[in-house]
DNA sequence: AACTTCAACTAAAACGTTTTCGATAAATTT
DNA sequence: AAATTTATCGAAAACGTTTTAGTTGAAGTT
């Protein structure tokens, strides 16, 4: 075709001389231009099929580019366009089924839209969250999706988020959010999830309904506890602080569980996560009690454990994947049409009760 | 100090005029240079504390930079240095405990070394793997860490990997690897893990030892099946194909499980993953048989399910986090000292048997 | 013949850095 | 006093693109 043998030959010589190892170095517009005796701009336009360029040169350039497998350099394009096509995701923990599920939703949607995802794990630490965020904010990404670390929620310091949004970088918070931050959010109705679970217990005739939870500074735990209390009061069942077992960390202490169940007589347990629920169930079963006959269990987060426990754990599904997709959708919308009017939405997803063997039905 | 009020004032005016919204736009070297009446190179050097620059201008520049929170643009630096400080991770599935664990190891090590991680999920698809890889290879990353998708292993086509390595981009494969690819690898000794598990069964007096596995084109399954067979033969127990239950996909068919256990009398089961094992245990328990008295179970991948099953599932731990750290270490070493001699290592980790209630001890 | 129009192409700036090679003036040496 | 050194600083290229604003020569118009 339009490629002369001499041209191709010269090119190969040049490139095999540069390195003695057989490295196929990436080719650039400049190389194509030089070999074909045209300017860089012509090559750039020819590859975009611009009307400005004659059809014969377009063919020559395109053939050459294909032959040498030219692919534009992402970094150069990012610098020029001030658009990286990357989105930053900061989550407290990657080895956590719910976050992983959300991440899958984000990744799926983002990828379909041509975005890549850079993940940073805050490890529940405020400092790491700040460091990671500042690092990514310096040009590496076009927007953030994140769930606050517990360290940040405890410290209640959101200056790093404010700085980012003030720079005009879009931010979407999911699951672990904070009132004071002006940005888009996507959460599930945790309060309602707990409310519905407790209501189900009561309909099933349960009277002494316990709650296993973590410390209140985690926004979701707080919401769930509120729903628990509300359902009890709405149904004329007293709210009794003694029926709340609060773990100070994610480290489960079997002693606390034992003390609690020895002290309090309960016939139903709502847990803010799977792990606490499974531990409770194991303890109850080890005491020879039957689930759900003697005690019912419902746990938040419909993960693997709920599904494969014996009996299966009735769960409040949080629709993580959907949450991730929505977060990504909102973010990319903001990135691509960065309108000046600052309007923020909060999408609230409805939780679903997945009934299994740990409750009667 | 060296900042005059007028300077700062002018600057603020300029920036608040540019946008009517209160956007704190990122400041660049050029801005600092203009405001301070020096050249860009001087600013650049001053910020690096270069000896070339007089101490008073250094102070002026540094103070100004600090005041306006100057941070260098990562993209520009990447373009200049041809180093992104990003590593690309491609895994088949993120909602999978083992991969997640490896990812954590990668992220932890990479972050400590100042690298960010871009994750792409191949979804077990050859095409997605290729697309993602080519996308990232165009300048977005300094190296790859990946586990092959099942689609790729089935197709047995590794040209996308070859292209990347031929371009001089370092690649580390983990867990799901292939012989033919010339690159660094980190795997666990799957064969030995299976061998040890079966040996334990035999020591416990088991005779009819079943294997639940997936199709052979998954490299790890193949290795595990080999270890299973080897242990049987080494101990003078016949290798019987009828005792192998092979699932065609990750979708579990309860019928296949039922047929299998109805047809074959077994007293021990080795499973190539947790899920298959848990399903087997549930079926056995539903038939009123006792674990481990009537049937023992051991499963690969020491994940959440093994830990929380009843009884706990004795598991072959794959040390995912360690695997991730090692992969990242090898990769970053290759990135930072890209020596010309191409030598590739394969690190083989030893599996560990975690004994729980599903086996006797 | 002088003009406009058009097709086809190029130069150069820009994105934000880093770095090499000067340039200038002051300080030091001879 | 002339020559040399030293301390500070700046111009410009480079990384690989995109895009604006030309430039050129040929064709068409009056």
pLDDT reported for residue A6: 34
Nearest to A167 among B26, B137, B138 (CB): B26
Please report, rounded to whole angstroms, the spatial distance between the CA atom of protein residue B55 and the C1' atom of nucleotide C30: 31
Helix %, strand %, coil % of chain B (to 5): 45, 15, 35
- Kindly determine whether the C-beta of residue B82 is less than 7 Å away from any atom of nucleic acid strand D: yes
Q: What does DSSP say about strands B314-317 and B352-354: parallel, antiparallel, or unpaired? A: antiparallel
Q: How confident is the model at residue A253, as a pLDDT?
A: 80
- Map residue A118 onto helix, strand or coil: strand
- What number is the average pLDDT over the span A156-180? 95
Nucleotide whose C1' lies closest to the alpha carbon of residue A50: C8
Domain topology for B81-186+320-346: Rossmann fold (3.40.50)
User: Residue B130 CA to D20 C1' — how many Å?
Assistant: 37
Q: How many CB atoms lie within 10 A of CB A263?
A: 10
Question: How many CB atoms within 10 Å of residue B45?
Answer: 17
How is chain B split into domains, by residue range? 5-72, 81-186+320-346, 190-319
Distance in Å, alpha carbon of A161 to nearest chain B alpha carbon: 13
pLDDT, residue A21, reads 54
Among B15, B23, B72, B94, pick the best mutation site for testing chain A contact (most A Cβ within 10 A).
B94
What is the residue-wise DSSP string for A137-187? HTTT-SEEEE---HHHHHHT--HHHHHHHHTT--EEEESS--TT--SEEEE
Kindly list the residues from chain A whose CB atom is less than 8 angstroms away from the CB atom of residue B26.
138-139, 167
| DSSP code at position A303 | -
Within the 161-200 window of chain A, which residues sit less than 8 Å (CB to CB) from chain B? 163, 166-168
Q: Which nucleotide has its C1' atom closest to residue B42's CA?
A: D9
What's the confidence (pLDDT) of residue B4?
34
From first to last of its 361 residues, chain B has per-residue pLDDT tens of: 333 333 333 333 333 333 445 678 899 999 999 999 999 999 999 999 999 999 999 999 999 999 999 999 999 999 999 999 999 999 999 999 999 999 999 999 999 999 999 999 999 999 999 999 999 999 999 999 999 999 999 999 999 999 999 999 999 999 999 999 999 999 999 999 999 999 999 999 999 999 999 988 888 999 999 999 999 999 999 999 999 999 987 777 888 999 999 999 999 999 999 999 999 999 999 999 999 999 999 999 999 999 999 899 999 999 999 999 999 999 999 999 876 667 999 999 999 999 999 998 7
A42 backbone dihedrals φ, ψ, rounded to 5°: -60, -45
Could you tell me the fold of the domain covering A84-186+320-349? Rossmann fold (3.40.50)
Q: Which positions ≥6 away from A333 have C-beta within 8 Å?
A: none
Interface check B81 vs A, CB under 8 A: no
Asked if B298 has any chain A CB less than 8 Å from its own CB, the reply is no
State the DSSP code for B9.
H
Cβ neighbours of residue A65 closer than 8 Å, sequence gap 6 or more? A27, A32, A43, A47
The strand pairing partners of B317, in sequence order, are B352
On whether the CB atoms of residues A343 and A184 are closer than 8 A, the answer is: no
Q: How far is CA B87 from the centre of its chain?
A: 11
Q: Helix B40-47 vs helix B55-67: angle between axes, to the nearest 10 degrees? A: 90
Q: Which residues of A touch B98 (CB under 8 A)?
A: none
Q: Does domain A5-72 have CATH number 1.10.260?
A: yes
Question: Rounded to whole angstroms, how far apart are CA atoms A238 and A290?
Answer: 25
Residues 40-79 of A with CB under 7 A from strand C: 40-42, 45, 52-57, 76, 79
pLDDT at A177: 95
Min Cα distance B34 → chain A (Å) is 21
Q: What is the distance of C-alpha B343 from the center of its chain? A: 22
Q: Which letter does DSSP use for residue A309 in this model?
A: S
Which architecture, in CATH terms, is A190-318?
3-Layer(aba) Sandwich (3.40)
Q: Does A100 touch chain B (CB under 8 A)?
A: yes
| Residue-level pLDDT at B340 | 63
- Give A24-79 pLDDT, tens digit per residue: 889 999 999 999 999 999 999 999 999 999 999 999 999 999 999 999 999 999 99
Query: Which positions in strand C are less than 7 Å from the protein's CB atoms?
Result: 7-12, 14-20, 22
Q: Kindly report the number of other CB atoms within 10 A of residue B336's CB atom.
A: 12
Q: Nearest 5°: phi and psi at B156?
A: 60, 35
Q: What is the mean pLDDT of chain A?
A: 91
- A100, B95: Cβ pair inside 8 Å? yes
Domains A5-72 and A84-186+320-349 share a fold: no
Q: What is the pLDDT of residue A339?
A: 67
Q: What is the DSSP letter of B288?
A: T
Instruction: Answer whether any strand D atom is within 7 A of the Cβ of A79.
Output: yes
For the stretch A338-352, pLDDT in tens is: 766 679 999 999 999
CA dihedral (B173, B177, B178, B181) in degrees, to 10, reads: 0
Q: Which chain A residues are closer than 8 Å to B167 by Cβ? A: 23-26
The per-residue pLDDT for B243 is 96
Percent of chain A with pLDDT over 90: 86
Question: In Å, what is the CA distance from A298 to each residue of A58, A202, B209?
Answer: 65, 13, 37
pLDDT digits 0-9 by tens, A228-284: 999 999 999 999 999 999 998 777 788 899 999 999 999 999 999 999 999 999 999
Cβ distance of A308 and B309 shorter than 8 Å: yes
Strands (E), B160-240: 171-174, 184-188, 209-214
DSSP secondary structure, B137-174, as one string: HTTT-SEEEE---HHHHHHT--HHHHHHHHTT--EEEE
Q: B129, B128, B109: which is closest to B117 by C-alpha?
A: B109
State the smallest CA–CA distance between residue B178 and chain A in angstroms. Answer: 22
B112/D20 CA-to-C1' distance in Å: 44
Asked if residue A15 has pLDDT above 80, the reply is no
Supply the pLDDT for residue B123. 96
Distance CA A26, CA A17 (A): 15
Q: What is the pLDDT of residues A303-328, one digit of tens each?
A: 999 999 989 999 999 999 999 999 99
Q: Are strands A143-146 and A296-300 parallel, antiparallel or unpaired?
A: unpaired
Give which of B12, B346, B357 is closest to B181, Cα–Cα. B346
- CATH code reported for the domain at B190-319: 3.40.50.2300
Confidence class for position A13, pLDDT limits 50, 70, 90 = very low
The whole-number Å distance from A81's CA to C7's C1' is 29
Question: Looking at residue A23, what is its pLDDT?
Answer: 75
Q: Do the Cβ atoms of B203 and B170 come closer than 8 Å?
A: no
Q: Cβ of B94 and A107 within 8 Å?
A: yes
Is there a contact between B317 and B100 (Cβ–Cβ < 8 Å)? no
Nearest CB partner across the interface for B340, out of A21, A136, A342? A21
């Amino acid at each position: 075709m339009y490629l002369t043998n001499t041209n191709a030959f010269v090119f190969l010589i040049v490139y095999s001389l540069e390195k003695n190892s057989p490295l196929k170095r990436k080719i650039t517009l400049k190389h194509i231009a030089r070999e074909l005796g045209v300017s860089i701009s012509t090559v750039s336009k020819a590859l975009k099929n611009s009307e400005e360029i004659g059809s014969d040169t377009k063919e020559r350039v395109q053939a050459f580019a294909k032959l040498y497998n030219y692919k534009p350099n992402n970094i150069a394009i990012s610098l020029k366009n001030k658009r990286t096509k990357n989105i930053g995701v900061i989550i407290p923990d990657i080895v956590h089924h719910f976050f992983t599920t959300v991440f899958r939703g984000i990744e799926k949607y983002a990828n379909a839209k041509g975005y890549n995802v850079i993940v940073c794990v805050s490890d529940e630490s405020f400092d790491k969250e700040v460091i990671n965020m500042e690092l990514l904010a310096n040009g590496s990404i076009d927007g953030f999706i994140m769930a606050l670390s517990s360290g940040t929620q405890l410290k209640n310091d959101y200056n790093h988020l404010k700085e980012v949004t003030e720079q005009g970088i879009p931010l979407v918070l999911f699951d672990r959010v904070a009132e004071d931050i002006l940005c888009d959010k996507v959460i599930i109705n945790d309060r309602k999830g707990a409310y519905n679970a407790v209501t189900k217990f009561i309909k099933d005739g349960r009277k002494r309904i316990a709650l296993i939870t973590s410390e209140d500074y985690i926004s979701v735990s707080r919401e769930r506890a509120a729903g628990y209390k509300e359902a009890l009061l709405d149904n004329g069942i007293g709210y009794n602080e003694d029926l709340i077992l609060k773990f100070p960390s994610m480290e489960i202490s079997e002693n606390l569980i034992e003390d609690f169940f020895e002290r309090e007589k309960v016939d139903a347990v709502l847990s803010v996560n799977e792990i606490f629920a499974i531990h409770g169930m194991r303890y109850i079963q080890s005491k020879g009690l039957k689930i759900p006959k003697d005690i019912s269990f419902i746990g938040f987060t419909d993960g693997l454990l709920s599904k494969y426990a014996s009996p299966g754990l009735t769960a409040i599904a949080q629709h993580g994947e959907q949450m991730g997709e929505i977060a990504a959708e909102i973010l990319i919308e903001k990135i691509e049409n960065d309108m000046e009017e600052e309007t923020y939405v909060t999408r609230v997803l409805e939780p679903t009760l997945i009934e299994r063997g740990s409750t009667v039905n």
